Amino acid sequence: MEISMPPPQIYVEKTLAIIKPDIVDKEEEIQDIILRSGFTIVQIWLADWLLKNNPNKPKLCHHPVAEERFKSKVL
């Protein structure tokens, strides 16, 4: 009688990091801290894409200055 074992699985956890608009000028320093902490940045482009293409973005972001300052990144 042979017992079948399920195939091994790899579990991956994802962490969302959002940079607040008031510290976006320290983005590179924050990314460096994240990388030194052992994380991998996989989707930094997503927040910029969502900001430009999401019809449900907050009303605050319709102001040109607010859009420029709102540079949250998905890390």
Q: For 5-59, how does the pLDDT look when each residue is reduced to its tens digit (9 = 90+)?
A: 888 888 878 888 877 778 878 888 988 999 999 988 877 777 677 777 777 666 5
Q: State residue 16's pLDDT score.
A: 80
Integer CA distances (angstroms), 53 to 9, 60, 67, 74, in order: 35, 15, 12, 15
- pLDDT value for 64: 55
How far is it between the farthest Cα atoms of the chain? 70
Tell me, what's the pLDDT at 33? 93
Residue 15 CB contacts under 8 Å (≥ 6 apart), including other chains: 39, 75
What is the rounded CA–CA span in Å between residue 72 and residue 17? 9
